[in-house]
Chain A
Amino acid sequence: MTKEFVKNAVGRMIPTEINGQAVIPFQGPHGYKTSGRKYGPPLRTCADYPADGDKRVPDLKAALIKAGLKDGMTISTHHHFRNGDLIANQIFNIAAELGVKDLIWFPSASFPCHEPLIKYLEDGTIHHIEGSMNGVLGRFASEGKMRGAGVLRSHGGRYQAVQDGEVVIDIAVIAAPTADPFGNANGLTGPSACGLLGFALADSEYAHNVIVVTDNLVPFPCIPWQIQGNNVDIVVEMEQIGIPEKIVSGTTQITKSPDRLFIAELTAKFCDAAGIIKDGFSFQAGAGGTALSIGNYFGEIMREKGIKARFARGGSNQYLVKMMEEGLVETILDGQTFDLEGVRSMRENFNHVNTSPFTSYNYHGKGNFASILDVVILGATEVDVNFNGNVVTHSDGLLLHGIGGWQNCLFGKTVILPIPLFRDRIPVIRDEVTTICGPGELIDVIVTERGIAINPLRTDLIEATKDSGLPIKTIQELKEEGERICGVPQTIEFEDKIIAAIKWVDGTVIDVVRQVKTN
């Protein structure tokens, strides 16, 4: 089979077809105009559901059978428990036991706890994954071992794909820390409380079959209902659905690394010098030790100036909650709770609000919150001299991370990537990134420990900070300094096989990832 390729708007060669579906190449951040209507799941009638509102079946297996689990279906799960998820593995254990094949797993993100699924990718129970592939799963895919190509989407892109009907979910399994027999559910209370269930919103609205599993069943009504029971087909009660302590991952602690703290402080100083930190401003609070400590430095600056932020958007955690409870931040628009303090605050504070990819990120909607943000702090594995960013592959070509909300947040007013100039001898600023996940025109500032580069498109930022005394350099200068220290890495070679597609927020394909060469 010969595949045809076309060059997209960032100059990457993209096949016209992936997994048998036609591909629309990336046409620029706002280039692709869509039309048509949203996807509609099949109509139902309440006569087919128990009039007493009790939709329970005895166990997950009975639920999957009732939902009509069969070959080739698309099954979705969610990552509210991050590395403490106990559901996805059980679903595919049951599928394998029933002899079901060629499933497509459509998680909102995967974690190291999903390593056991490799055996189902090997035996054909799972055909491929559409979602982030972290660590071991990514390595498996990178080595060309997955039957289909992976499809990676941002959190907003996932909502868009479901809403537009690009992905049709046959069965959504929503793990809910609290639910009633009707299917109303939330993440606020119960032994597995994880905060919110925003990543499951699209699935609950558009999937053909929706199963809610809970380890804290309450009598009707479960209030508040972050997931509405009217969208739910089946409810399952089980012993334990997740390990809340594992919501907290290594990326949700403030860094102790002096080098990263240095970069964080420099980033905050840059924002201050650029006039971004003013009364009523807003910021994206990301995960990752550096991003978290930047929030802390913002707090110091706000305290000193006696000002407040109107809102912070993103993942909540103990540090952000403390800032809100101290009065430095008026509102948290929370998309993902990163620790148990975040869960507590969401339960107790009316101004700590749960959001979803629909409100925050969906590109095919009537606006979203991300573009309202004054400043967004993100990470990257690589950046190139044209400010294009990579978050999914490493410089050795391995696919090891998901996109998360990264692409969606690029629409914030000022986007800053604080990154070290090199990691374990690998320079982070390259002539070309291994995989383009975000176009350079949306990335404004790179802050490294050895200097700050401002995108030449942002003449306003260049002007505002020119007398700040901050170490402003060109991105080319930073690249050369990194290479002076590390040496210039040799060019890596790939096999021809495409192992994953990287979707842009509008459903177009911005880049593909190829199989790595193994000797």
Chain B
Amino acid sequence: MNKTGTAGNQGADIRSDCHVTLELTSSGGIQIDLTSKIGVLFGESINTLTHDILAHFGIENAHITIADRGALDFVLAARIEAAVHQVIETDKEFWPELLPQNQYTTAKDRYRRSRLYLPGNTPKLALNAGIHTPDGIILDLEDSVAPDKKEEARYLVRNALRQVDFYGAERMVRINQLPMGLRDLEFVVPHYPNLILLPKCESAEQVEQVDTRIKELAVQYGIDQPIYIMPIIESALGVVKAYEIASAAESVVSLAIGLEDYTADLGAPRTNEGRETFYARSTLVNAARAAGIQPIDSVFSDVSDMEALRAVVLESKSLGFDGMGCIHPRQIKVIHEAFAPTPSEIEKAQEIVHAFDEATRLGLGVVSLGSKMIDPPVVKRAQRTIDLAICSGKLSADWKEVNA
């Protein structure tokens, strides 16, 4: 009985994906059965790619069935490779070309107002994610991927990191809970991710484990750019340990909260008012600020209700959060708008920065505005408000000259 490997998705609603069945045979070379609506346009290219991958793994005789639904090469390659690994034992991988523009780095304190979740085994949603300009995109290997699809999703996420241009969005991956997440890192770290999300985090030790493994892999693959960590707190215990988690490693840049799991853990239904999560959210903001990192709020799950989302974001901002998760591209604009400073906040910040500039020009050690003394942290916060206003399109970058 020959071993059979399968990977991918099929069905009438599937787009930009394919389903692959691979069976090793004893003779007859490579037999490819391709069904594709775009076969007359890409059939030759798909055949060539299939031969290349099978040759890469030393497979000479096989029967492969590809039901294509408009998959791009990196998707086809991930599906074929996932099937290959089910029928032969090998440490080899088939890496598609790395786009040169996919090696950018991000700053520790960059804005993380919006991070768009992309299910790791659904290629269609990744292709255009970057055009919506979220601050970050998350290729998710955890909750959005069914248990029996975890392995094939790893190949797809790896290929997406190499081949999909996210146009400057911070490239994030949510790994699985430990220990499974440690294996995920092997498929992610060599491909220039900017940040790893660690779900259901409950201890500093888990963060340290991830941080250590990232560093080992980075050395092994010669990745010398920073890879940050954003632990997600999703349980009562996690909330209690929030500060310990937030300060567990230098590479932790943000601390996020996941309220669906948290409220389940509490045994309290999640409400729109959110009284049941107030303690957790406040604790998390406090812990993150104490550790000098960004507190990031949960996602809002009703993708059709933009007004309710706006209200949630405004509350989130008022509690001290710096950002939120998104599960639909349409949420991004609303979140950016709501986290943007208000006109009066901008005006106040401009006055403070002006006063600071003036004091510096005059060589004064003390900054004052009217009769009030202004402390350095206030100036720093004002400068951040200005930066955010510029980033949100609420203030011209050359406002100092314009106002002068």
Residues of A within 8 A of B (CB): 258-259, 261-262, 395-397, 424-426, 449-450, 485-487, 489-490, 492, 517
CA–CA, A424 and B159, complex, Å: 18
Inter-subunit contact A492/B40 (CB<8 Å): yes
Q: How far is the CB of B271 from chain A (nearest CB, A)?
A: 27
Residue of B41, B71, B329, B330 with most partner-chain A CB within 10 A: B41
Q: Which residues in A have their C-beta under 8 angstroms from that of B44?
A: 490
Known contacts A258-B329, A449-B128; is-contact A425 B40 (Cβ 8 Å): no
For window 55-100 of B, CB contacts with A under 8 Å fall at 69-73
Q: List 12 A-B pairs, Cβ < 8 Å.
A: A258-B330, A259-B131, A259-B329, A262-B131, A262-B329, A396-B38, A424-B15, A424-B37, A424-B70, A425-B16, A425-B70, A490-B41
Inter-subunit contact A485/B72 (CB<8 Å): yes
Inter-subunit contact A490/B73 (CB<8 Å): no
CA–CA, A489 and B132, complex, Å: 27
Q: Which residues in B have their C-beta under 8 angstroms from that of A395?
A: 41
| B310 contacts A by Cβ under 8 Å | no
Inter-subunit contact A489/B72 (CB<8 Å): no
| B220 contacts A by Cβ under 8 Å | no
Interface string of B93-135 (1 = CB under 8 A from A): 0000000000000000000000000000000000110011000
CA–CA, A489 and B44, complex, Å: 9
| B399 contacts A by Cβ under 8 Å | no
Inter-subunit contact A492/B41 (CB<8 Å): yes
Inter-subunit contact A424/B16 (CB<8 Å): yes
Q: From A486, which residue of chain B is reached at the shortest CB distance? A: B72
Inter-subunit contact B16/A450 (CB<8 Å): no
Inter-subunit contact A487/B38 (CB<8 Å): no
Q: How far is the CB of B172 from chain A (nearest CB, A)?
A: 19
Count B interface residues, CB 8 Å: 22
| B43 contacts A by Cβ under 8 Å | yes
Interface string of B5-25 (1 = CB under 8 A from A): 000000000011000000000
Q: From A451, which residue of chain B is reached at the shortest CB distance? A: B131
Extra contacts, 6 of them, besides A397-B40, A489-B38, A492-B40 (Cβ < 8 A), are A424-B37, A424-B38, A424-B69, A426-B38, A487-B45, A517-B40
Q: How far is the CB of B295 from chain A (nearest CB, A)?
A: 27
| B42 contacts A by Cβ under 8 Å | yes
| B328 contacts A by Cβ under 8 Å | yes
For window 308-345 of B, CB contacts with A under 8 Å fall at 328-330
Which of A262, A396, A487 is B132 in contact with, Cβ under 8 Å?
A262
Inter-subunit contact B132/A258 (CB<8 Å): yes
Q: Which residues in B have their C-beta under 8 angstroms from that of A426?
A: 38, 41, 70
CA–CA, A233 and B26, complex, Å: 76
Q: Which residues in B have their C-beta under 8 angstroms from that of A486?
A: 72
Q: How far is the CB of B22 from chain A (nearest CB, A)?
A: 22
Q: How far is the CB of A112 from chain B (nearest CB, A)?
A: 17
Inter-subunit contact A489/B42 (CB<8 Å): yes
Known contacts A258-B329, A487-B45; is-contact A425 B38 (Cβ 8 Å): yes
Q: From B37, which residue of chain A is reached at the shortest CB distance? A: A424
Q: Which residues in B have their C-beta under 8 angstroms from that of A490?
A: 40-45
CA–CA, A496 and B323, complex, Å: 60
Q: How far is the CB of A434 from chain B (nearest CB, A)?
A: 11
Q: Which residues in A have their C-beta under 8 angstroms from that of B328?
A: 258
CA–CA, A426 and B16, complex, Å: 11
Q: From B331, which residue of chain A is reached at the shortest CB distance? A: A258
- 3 A-B pairs with least C-beta separation: A424-B70, A258-B329, A489-B41
Residue of A261, A449, A450, A485 with most partner-chain B CB within 10 A: A485
Q: Which residues in B have their C-beta under 8 angstroms from that of A262?
A: 128, 131-132, 329
CA–CA, A489 and B40, complex, Å: 8
Q: How far is the CB of A264 from chain B (nearest CB, A)?
A: 12
For window 293-315 of B, CB contacts with A under 8 Å fall at none
Known contacts A258-B330, A396-B38, A490-B45; is-contact A425 B128 (Cβ 8 Å): no
CA–CA, A262 and B329, complex, Å: 10
Q: Which residues in A have their C-beta under 8 angstroms from that of B40?
A: 396-397, 490, 492, 517
Q: How far is the CB of A149 from chain B (nearest CB, A)?
A: 22
Inter-subunit contact A425/B42 (CB<8 Å): yes
Residue of A258, A259, A396 with most partner-chain B CB within 10 A: A258
Q: Which residues in B have their C-beta under 8 angstroms from that of A450?
A: 131
Which of B37, B42, B128 is A259 in contact with, Cβ under 8 Å?
B128
CA–CA, A30 and B167, complex, Å: 43
Q: How far is the CB of A135 from chain B (nearest CB, A)?
A: 14
Q: From B167, which residue of chain A is reached at the shortest CB distance? A: A450
Q: Which residues in A have their C-beta under 8 angstroms from that of B72?
A: 425, 485-487
Q: Which residues in A have their C-beta under 8 angstroms from that of B42?
A: 425, 487, 489-490
Q: How far is the CB of A258 from chain B (nearest CB, A)?
A: 4
CA–CA, A314 and B45, complex, Å: 42
Interface string of B26-55 (1 = CB under 8 A from A): 000000000001101111110000000000
CA–CA, A489 and B72, complex, Å: 12
Q: How far is the CB of B33 from chain A (nearest CB, A)?
A: 14
Q: Which residues in B have their C-beta under 8 angstroms from that of A487?
A: 42, 45, 72-73
Q: From B39, which residue of chain A is reached at the shortest CB distance? A: A396
Q: From A493, which residue of chain B is reached at the shortest CB distance? A: B40
Inter-subunit contact A261/B73 (CB<8 Å): no
Which of A424, A449, A489, A517 is B131 in contact with, Cβ under 8 Å?
A449
CA–CA, A258 and B118, complex, Å: 14
Q: How far is the CB of B402 from chain A (nearest CB, A)?
A: 16
Q: Which residues in A have their C-beta under 8 angstroms from that of B329?
A: 258-259, 262
Q: Which residues in B have their C-beta under 8 angstroms from that of A489?
A: 38, 41-42
Q: How far is the CB of B327 from chain A (nearest CB, A)?
A: 11
Q: How far is the CB of A236 from chain B (nearest CB, A)?
A: 41
Q: From A421, which residue of chain B is reached at the shortest CB distance? A: B128
Q: How far is the CB of B126 from chain A (nearest CB, A)?
A: 12
Q: From A420, which residue of chain B is reached at the shortest CB distance? A: B128
Q: Which residues in B have their C-beta under 8 angstroms from that of A424?
A: 15-16, 37-38, 69-70
Inter-subunit contact B70/A261 (CB<8 Å): no
Q: From A469, which residue of chain B is reached at the shortest CB distance? A: B393
CA–CA, A323 and B73, complex, Å: 44
CA–CA, A449 and B127, complex, Å: 11
Q: Which residues in A have their C-beta under 8 angstroms from that of B43?
A: 490
Q: From B44, which residue of chain A is reached at the shortest CB distance? A: A490
Q: From A489, which residue of chain B is reached at the shortest CB distance? A: B41
Q: From B75, which residue of chain A is reached at the shortest CB distance? A: A425
Inter-subunit contact A396/B41 (CB<8 Å): yes
Q: How far is the CB of B78 from chain A (nearest CB, A)?
A: 15
